Structure 1
Amino acid sequence: MSRSDRSTRAMHQALPPALREAVDDFAEHLSRVRNRSTHTVRAYVTDLVSLFDHAVRMGCVDLAELDLLVLRSWLARQRTTGAARTSLARRAASARAFSAWAHRAGLLSTDVGAALASPRAHRELPSVLRADQAAALVDGPTRRITPTDPPPTDLPDTHGAPTDPARTGPAGEAAVPLRDRVLLELLYATGVRVSEACGLDVGDVDHGRRVIRVFGKGGRERSVPYGVPAQRALDDWLRQGRPAMVGAHSGDALLLGARGGRLNPTTARQIVGAYAEAAGLPRTSPHGLRHSAATHLLEGGADLRAVQELLGHSSLASTQIYTHVSVERLRAAYRQAHPRA
């Protein structure tokens, strides 16, 4: 547990029972009803505990006493302590989401957070690879640039099974680059999130139509196509790689870690970063590959709404940032090539 998590837990335990119960009920609502990820629920809880800790300091010991003044005071305090605009925007969104839920649940007489304004978060243009750089990255395992998994004691697989000696022998070692190759190919070919890639089961792959079934944020299901290189990587992995790494705790997981359990997203991020470094590329993450895939699709003429569907964005505004990337690239090319730029 991180220091931040320990601090949040301590503040949570120090809250008055009514406020503590409200935090717990809202967390359960997010997890079970809204189907939010563990990471998202943790972020909401952290924000709410901070809000209620501030409210108690202002003399608010009951949920009914929560009002707009308390919310604004909390955000103002966050700003004076150096919180970034993006953090302030997220915390305001957390407060509004809780307020709306508490009003619907009858815990608040009015939705006090509805009028809470927040600074517009500054959205930086995502860093993307050129097409040739992305190709060099996904071809890394084929060239036998094979970074190894981190030690199992540092990053246990989902089930925490003991390492099977059979998977650490020559067959298991030969399977690692096949696993890495299919991971990189799928991330770039489909633009899926790293959590979505690691969550894939063998049955989620439709080889005939070259489509994968993905369960994204909020449990929303979508179908995403992939190309011939990814299909070849999948064929090699399923025929030669996965059987060498499969174990008692593998289940239906498509991508496996060193212990034979489902591949951990943190491990997947380290794999991508290691291959990027080995290929002499800028520091790259799975999310960077997602940015790159979206940008290259739009630069190739793909429709914006089609890219929105592929990425699983609930709002078109989330996808439009990639049009900004393309414009910036166009401007860069113009400045470099035009004699009167």
Structure 2
Amino acid sequence: MDLSQALQEYLDYLSVERNCSANTVAAYGRDLSRYLADLADQGVTQPEEVTRQMIEAHEAALEDVGLAPASVERAVSAIKGFHRFMVADEICQNFPTADLPLPSKPQRLPDVISIEQASALLDQPWPQTAAGQRDRAMLEVLYGCGVRVSELCGLDLRDVALDEEVIRVFGKGSKERVIPILGTAAEALGSYLGSWRGLLVGRTPTQAVFLNQRGGRISRQSVHKIVERAGRMAGIEGLHPHTLRHSFATHMLEGGADLRVVQELLGHANIATTQLYTHVDRTHVRSVYLAAHPRAHVS
């Protein structure tokens, strides 16, 4: 089996057996296709022909073209996983990445906004239109629940239980978690679902919570634009949906929330360094959320 065939086997393994997201599989596919193209330029097409020196040269080439450190680290991680898979699946015995370290990357603190900025963002006048109230609800959920933008876009009506004060999201690897939704986030989402969403529904019914102007599920790109525009209106330039997630976590911790509770809410397998995911009783999660989140209560 040559490297191209092995790559397809590996991507199938990530998708089917490891249950990785489509975005993860696509990213690994791009990294490894570039790697295999580099090897092919050197006349290398078989797994047994790859050497550690070739891999280190490929890593250096990625750095030379100005690829971000995090992107280089992901590419090397993909290469290590690919070779580990080939050995484990007995495609080859050659293991050139056995002790290959991942490149170091500078630590970068996540962007956050202050509680005052969050209030200015979310309390700004929102248009009394379906789109305006949808946008308000989306930003309230992003900041009030700390969800990823992909999780927000993936929300279906069956995932929302406002009477139980929770929403259900599916994170990386389709891992399900239940998050409290309270205060202004619950009020904004309830208002949107009760009075405005129906005005966006198109000819083809959909279970998506957040709809675009054509009645379909809203895209991640659209959410990015809406968040950036709302931030600009509140005097916050370059606001990103992930900034609201980081701000959610920071403000919860500043409000006294336990690190394990925030870990549960965010759906992190690891937090800070290599801290393992710790299950926290959801009743405790809700009580801490009520006490710690600055927008957990409707005034």
When normalised by structure 1's length, the TM-score is 0.76
User: Once the 2 structures are TM-superposed, how far is the Cα of residue 92 of structure 1 from its aligned partner?
Assistant: 1.0
Once the two structures are TM-superposed, the CA of residue 259 in structure 1 deviates from its matched residue by 1.0
2:227 is the counterpart of 1:272: yes
Go from structure 1 to structure 2 and tell me whether the alpha carbon gap of 1:52 and 1:60 turns closer, same or farther (over 3 Å shift).
same
- 1:100-140 deviations in Å (ceiling 9; x for gaps): 22222221215432311122111211111110111221223
Whole-angstrom distance in 1 between the partners of 2:214 and 2:5: 38
Flag structure 2 segments of 5+ consecutive residues without an equivalent. 276-299
Query: Mapping of 1:55-70 within 5 angstroms?
Result: 55-70=39-54
1:91 aligns with 2:75: yes
| 1:228-247 correspondence to structure 2 within 5 Å | 228-247=183-202
Partner of 1:74: 58
- The answer (yes or no) to whether the contact 1:182–1:230 under 8 Å persists in 2 is yes
* Correspondence 1:137-216 to 2 at 5 A: 137-140=121-124, 143-144=125-126, 146=127, 174-216=129-171
Say whether residues 1:102 and 2:86 are aligned partners: yes
Cα pair 1:212 1:225 within 8 Å, conserved = yes
Supply the AA of the counterpart residue of 1:84.
A
Give yes or no for contact 2:162–2:190 (8 Å, CA) kept in 1: no
- Partners of 1:319 and 1:227 lie apart in 2 by 31
Change (3 A) 1:82 1:230: closer
Which of 243, 250, 258 aligns to 1:288? It is 243
Question: 2: CA distance between counterparts of 1:268 and 1:318?
Answer: 30
Instruction: For residues 183-208 of structure 1, give each alpha carbon's deviation from its aligned partner in whole angstroms, at most 9, with x where no partner exists.
Output: 01100001110000110111111212
Deviation, 1:19, is 2.4
**Is the Cα–Cα contact under 8 Å of residues 196 and 215 in structure 1 kept in the other structure?**
yes
| Alignment partner of 1:317 is 2:272 | yes
What secondary structure sits across from 2:179 in the alignment?
A: strand
2:285 corresponds to: none
Give the residue type in structure 1 aligned to 2:116: D
CA apart distance, 1:239: 1.1
Aligned to 2:177: 222
Identity %, equivalent residues = 39
Question: Structure 1 298/98 Cα, relative in aligned 2: closer, same or farther at 3 Å?
Answer: same
Matches of 1:307 and 1:250 in 2, distance apart?
35
| Corresponding residue of 2:34 | 50
Match of 2:206 among 241, 247, 251: 251
Q: Is the 8 Å Cα contact of residues 137 and 192 (structure 2) preserved in structure 1?
A: yes
Query: In 2 relative to 1, CA 49–245 (structure 1 residues): closer, same or farther, beyond 3 Å?
Result: same
* Deviation (angstroms), 1:319: 9.4
Deviations 1:285-327 (A, max 9, x none): 100100110110111111111111111111123698xxxxxxx
Indicate the residue corresponding to 2:20 in structure 1. Answer: 36
SS of alignment partner, residue 224 of structure 1: strand
Could you tell me which runs of 5 or more consecutive residues in structure 1 were left unpaired when the two chains were aligned: 1-16, 147-172, 321-341
The aligned residue for residue 289 of structure 2 is none
Who is 1:162 aligned against? none
Query: What's the offset of the Cα at 1:76?
Result: 2.2
Match of 1:262 in 2: 217
- 1:118 matched to 2:73: no
What root-mean-square deviation, in Å, do the aligned CA atoms of Structure 1 and Structure 2 show? 2.0
Q: Deviations over 1:250-302 (max 9, x none)?
A: 42111111111111111011000001111112321100100110110111111
* Deviation by residue 1:19-77 (Cα, 9 ceiling, x = unmatched): 22222222222223323233222211111112112222333221222232321221122
Judge conservation of contact 2:21–2:174 (CA < 8 Å) in 1. no
Q: Which moved more, 1:218-227 or 1:83-92?
A: 83-92
More helix by share: 1
Read off the aligned partner of 2:193 and give its amino acid letter: L
- C-alpha displacement at 1:236, in angstroms? 0.9
The whole-number CA distance in structure 2 between the counterparts of 1:103 and 1:186 is: 44
Amino acid at match of 1:112: P
Give me the whole-angstrom Cα distance separating, in 1, the residues matched to 2:114 and 2:46. 54
C-alpha separation between the residues in 1 aligned to 2:273 and 2:234? 30
**CA distance, structure 2, for counterparts of residue 225 and residue 318 of structure 1:** 26
Amino acid at match of 1:257: N
